[in-house]
Amino acid sequence: MTIALDTATLLAQLTQLGIIGHDVGGGRTRLAFSDADKQGRDQLFAWMQELSLDIKIDYIGNIFGTLAGSDPALAPLMIGSHIDTVINAGMYDGCYGVLAGLAVLRALRQAGIVPRRSIVVAAFSNEEGVRYQPDMMGSLVYAGGIDVAQVLDVIGTDGTRLGAELRRIGYAGDLPPGAMVPHAYLELHIEQGPLLEAHATQIGVVADLQGISWQQITITGVANHAGTTPLAMRHDAGWAAAELITQVRRMALASGSTLATVGSIQFSPNAINVIPQTAILTLDMRDPDDQKLSAAEAHVAALLQTIAAQEGVTIRSQQLVRFPAVHFDDALVAEIAQTTAALGFSQRQMTSGAGHDAQMLARIAPAAMIFVPSQAGISHNPAEYTSDADLIAGATVLLAVVQRLSM
Ligand code: HGY
Ligand code: MN
Ligand code: MN
């Protein structure tokens, strides 16, 4: 039965949520458990109340809005994503999947349809992992991949303790993580890459998600005078960092599939005329093939030793994240593909370059994802954009798959 999606409300809510945490850089910043994240959560909570959903919050602040099904004995169908952002982010990453989930429940409500299976819209905490690592934290806790007590003690990049911030914003809930084991988990998300647009394709049917390795690397040399210290006498943490950044790019290019990114670096004392004493940087590496990702990690470990010996600095690496590549549920992937075909949208099966909550839910339930195109493949950037037509196509596929799985 075809039921109407209230696309105007979906698009309006995306815009409204996108204003919260507005950043001087033109995007929005709603880092996990910050005041801006709280504002976004409060807004989502209000929208869930408008739909008379049963709202629950778990120990790590994951938010769940449930539309009750007629058969409470059936495990719920879960859809959703996240509403926290990176710094100066776009407005669709994560938010689109959560708000499209609300749009699906709104359509069922407006059509007076009660599904057999309850349907839960989830907004998982701290998917981005920018302030507190690891990323996909809320869904990882939910899936039992990390202990909530351990996570509450995590110290953020700003020196705050996660548990204190979670309590301060009022989202330390009373639902034990993992309390609702879904029949299946579906995540609608923007691709955040260039493939769908490059192939003029409307829907990405995501069957796989690549492995992720994050490490923090601390290089310690000797601060010295920029004008009096001969090059041969330097132990320059800045030069060592630059050499590492150059070499990991060379390694990634040679691999043909590994991606390597140094996204953050801090020098100290960070002064124009002082040779850097320390450089603290983060290295994000990804590969669809876990063995190649492990090979990249081993290559970097050897590289650190070589650079340390060359420059007479000490280098320490701390692993922050290591998530293996994930293959999503074949039956669910086929369901998405068949539904997309029946709706007449073009589609291509693909691997996700980005991490998502679905990779964690896949540990406890069949999971899969639906992508829509990102204009010029841009994401984690205020210029992130997906056309209304593509947003509506994705939400239409989500609604149809939800109907097939919950009626
Ligand atoms: O890092 C990622 O891929 C995701 O955006 N957290
Ligand atoms: Mn995301
Ligand atoms: Mn993201």
- Give the domains, in start order, of the chain with CATH numbers: 7-210+325-406 (3.40.630.10), 211-323 (3.30.70.360)
What is the per-residue pLDDT across 197-214, written as a single tens digit (0 to 9) for each? 999 999 999 999 999 999
Q: What is the DSSP string of 141-199?
A: HHTTSS-HHHHHTPBPTTS-BHHHHHHHTT---SBPTT-S--SEEEEEEE--SSHHHHT
**What's the token pair of residue 107?**
């359509």
**Predicted local distance difference test score (pLDDT) of residue 356:** 98
Mean pLDDT of 254-262: 98
3-state helix, strand, coil in the chain (%, to 5): 35, 25, 40
Nearest ligand to the C-alpha of residue 210? 1
**Predicted local distance difference test score (pLDDT) of residue 166:** 98
**Predicted local distance difference test score (pLDDT) of residue 41:** 99
**Predicted local distance difference test score (pLDDT) of residue 274:** 98
What is the per-residue pLDDT across 91-120, written as a single tens digit (0 to 9) for each? 999 999 999 999 999 999 999 999 999 999
SS3 state at 58: strand
Atom from ligand 1 closest to the CA of residue 129: 6
**Predicted local distance difference test score (pLDDT) of residue 2:** 74
122 with 143: CB under 8 angstroms? no
Residue partners of 305: CB distance under 8 A and separation at least 6: 315
Q: Is the pLDDT of residue 168 over 90?
A: yes
Nearest CA to 141 out of 19, 59, 44 is that of: 59
Please state, for a pLDDT cut of 90, what percent of the chain lies above it: 99
Pocket test for ligand 1, best of 84, 85, 93, 128 (most atoms within 8 A of CB): 128
Atom from ligand 1 closest to the CA of residue 192: 5
Q: List pocket residues of ligand 1, CB cut-off 6 Å.
A: 127-129, 135, 354-355
What is the per-residue pLDDT across 288-324, written as a single tens digit (0 to 9) for each? 999 999 999 999 999 999 999 999 999 999 999 999 9
What band does 150 get if pLDDT is binned at 50, 70 and 90?
very high
Pocket test for ligand 1, best of 82, 135, 357 (most atoms within 8 A of CB): 135
What is the per-residue pLDDT across 21-74, written as a single tens digit (0 to 9) for each? 999 999 999 999 999 999 999 999 999 999 999 999 999 999 999 999 999 999
Nearest ligand to the C-alpha of residue 135? 1
**Predicted local distance difference test score (pLDDT) of residue 366:** 98
Q: Is the pLDDT of residue 1 over 80?
A: no
Tell me how many degrees the CA angle 80-39-84 measures, rounded to the nearest 5. 40
Q: Please report, for residues 207, 211, 320, 375, the alpha-carbon distance to residue 193 in angstroms, rounded to integers and kept in the order given.
A: 16, 16, 24, 8
Please state, for a pLDDT cut of 70, what percent of the chain lies above it: 100
Write down the mean pLDDT value for the chain.
98
Instruction: State the pTM of this model.
Output: 0.95
- CA 4/CA 326 separation, integer angstroms: 34
What is the per-residue pLDDT across 318-354, written as a single tens digit (0 to 9) for each? 999 999 999 999 999 999 999 999 999 999 999 999 9
